[in-house]
Copies of this chain bind each other. A is one copy, B any other.
Amino acid sequence: MIEIDIRRNLTALKSLQIRANQPDFLLTWEKSPDEIKAVALIAETFKEMHRRRIPFRIFETGLAISIFRDKSTRTRFSFASAANALGLAVEDLDEEKSQISHGETVRETANMISFLTEAIGIRDDMYLGEGNRYMREVAAAVDEGHREGVLHQRPALVNLQCDLDHPTQSLSDLLQLKSHFGSFEALRGKKIAMSWAYSPSYGKPLSVPQGIIALMTRFGMDVTLAHPEGYDLVPEIVDIARSNAKSGGGSFSQVTDMDAAFKDADVVYPKSWAPYHVMQRRTQLLQARDKAGLSELEKECLAHNARHQSWECTERNMAFTRGSNALYMHCLPADISGVSCEHGEVSAPVFERYRLATYHEAGYKPFVIAAMIFLARKTNPIAELERLAQF
């Protein structure tokens, strides 16, 4: 573990251009490279401050609301940790207990729960075309409430995973890469293989691979996306990755062969997801509450997946990577062959070799979330950070 130089981070932060009045972090591609770096550097600084037991509490009181429209342990605890470290109390909005849905009620409820609220974290990744839209509905509602004096403050919104992006994950991954290679600059020209991998489940969201290809291209990495034919991501996001590669000085390519993607890779990210068109059908079936249709779709997809069991990260294909020693990444939990399932995304020996590395990767997330809220809610965040860090 490299000890982080807080002073160097503060200096780097001072050179960045950060727009004021950006209360939300919904998609990395809506943020400038400087803004991405700012979140990353603040998160890294918070993590180091936590290690040294220097508090970064900025609120005396206030609520942080979490809205989870999907099961979650890790993200739930990351959000709770981040909110708590900043001085906020977490209140979970349980939609089953409160009968919230889209439409009129979002506008009203968003205001009703926000009178003393400083941050809202939302996870809504089940419905393609819905998750990010819902977040924007909430944002518009609290915008109106704040403008009209209903809310004394505009709560910061944090995307804790939607149908399009998973920014708290991809920024944690970015910090893991920075830590592994030494700096943002060192990422230039490094090859990362974002590869589909076999899993015995189906319906996993697309937001992790989409988040990775859209973000890492901006840091000059050579991003290779690999998946079997038909396992496409949302086309608009693939276009964003391609365009980001151009502007970011990296490259973006696609292959349909895991081994080819691993060839000379510095980093591999083997991870299952459901094909784009399956998620579209699944969304329609979920919205129609068509249980029979969902069960039929699941059967069909699992059969389809089963033809790609060879898409597994093993010592055999890790041998193709640079020095046989690429950094293995995963957002966790991984489907580990012979451990959590019979056949999965990764073999047990490879996972065990990188197990602690994936824990370190996950360990950035609470601090990334805290950094997003901090940056959104402080008018002079860098000066405030300097004060907190006691420099």
Query: Which of these binds chain B: A30-38, A272-280, A288-296, A333-341?
Result: A333-341
Are A112 and B339 touching (Cβ within 8 A)? no
Q: Roughly how many angstroms separate A231 CA and B113 CA in the complex, as a whole number?
A: 32
Q: Roughly how many angstroms separate A326 CA and B1 CA in the complex, as a whole number?
A: 60
Q: Roughly how many angstroms separate A27 CA and B1 CA in the complex, as a whole number?
A: 35
A90 CB-CB contact with B under 8 Å: yes
Given contacts A73-B112, A112-B74, A145-B359, whether A89 and B84 have CB atoms under 8 Å apart is yes
Contacts of A63 in B (CB 8 A): 77, 80-81, 84
Query: Which of these binds chain B: A4-12, A93-101, A312-320?
Result: A93-101
Are B57 and A363 touching (Cβ within 8 A)? no
Q: Smallest distance from the beta carbon of A379 to chain B beta carbons, Å?
A: 12
Are A366 and B50 touching (Cβ within 8 A)? no
Are B98 and A72 touching (Cβ within 8 A)? yes
Q: Roughly how many angstroms separate A63 CA and B76 CA in the complex, as a whole number?
A: 12
Q: 1/0 per residue A22-48: CB within 8 Å of B?
A: 000000000000000000000000000
Q: Roughly how many angstroms separate A360 CA and B146 CA in the complex, as a whole number?
A: 11
Using a CB-CB cutoff of 8 Å, which residues 45-82 of chain A contact chain B?
A: 50-51, 53, 55, 57, 60-63, 65, 71-74, 76-78, 80-81
Are B105 and A87 touching (Cβ within 8 A)? no
Are B85 and A50 touching (Cβ within 8 A)? no
Query: How many of A's residues come within 8 Å of B, CB to CB?
Result: 60
Contacts of A256 in B (CB 8 A): none
Say which residue of B50, B55, B115 sits within 8 Å of A363 (CB atoms). B115
Q: Roughly how many angstroms separate A105 CA and B339 CA in the complex, as a whole number?
A: 10
Q: 1/0 per residue A106-128: CB within 8 Å of B?
A: 00110111011100000000000
Are B51 and A55 touching (Cβ within 8 A)? no
Query: Which of these binds chain B: A148-156, A209-217, A244-252?
Result: A148-156
Q: 1/0 per residue A344-367: CB within 8 Å of B?
A: 000000000000100110110110
Given contacts A61-B85, A80-B89, whether A109 and B73 have CB atoms under 8 Å apart is yes
Given contacts A63-B80, A71-B99, A73-B98, whether A115 and B366 have CB atoms under 8 Å apart is yes
Q: Roughly how many angstroms separate A372 CA and B84 CA in the complex, as a whole number?
A: 22
Given contacts A150-B360, A336-B104, A360-B149, whether A57 and B60 have CB atoms under 8 Å apart is yes
A91 CB-CB contact with B under 8 Å: yes
Q: Roughly how many angstroms separate A149 CA and B150 CA in the complex, as a whole number?
A: 44
Q: Roughly how many angstroms separate A149 CA and B364 CA in the complex, as a whole number?
A: 12
Sort A-B residue pairs by CB-CB distance and give the 6 closest, nearest first: A73-B98, A81-B116, A77-B113, A150-B359, A1-B149, A51-B152
Sample of 12 more A-B contacts, CB < 8 Å, known A73-B99, A84-B116, A89-B90: A50-B152, A51-B152, A71-B98, A74-B113, A77-B115, A80-B91, A81-B116, A90-B91, A108-B333, A148-B359, A150-B356, A151-B363
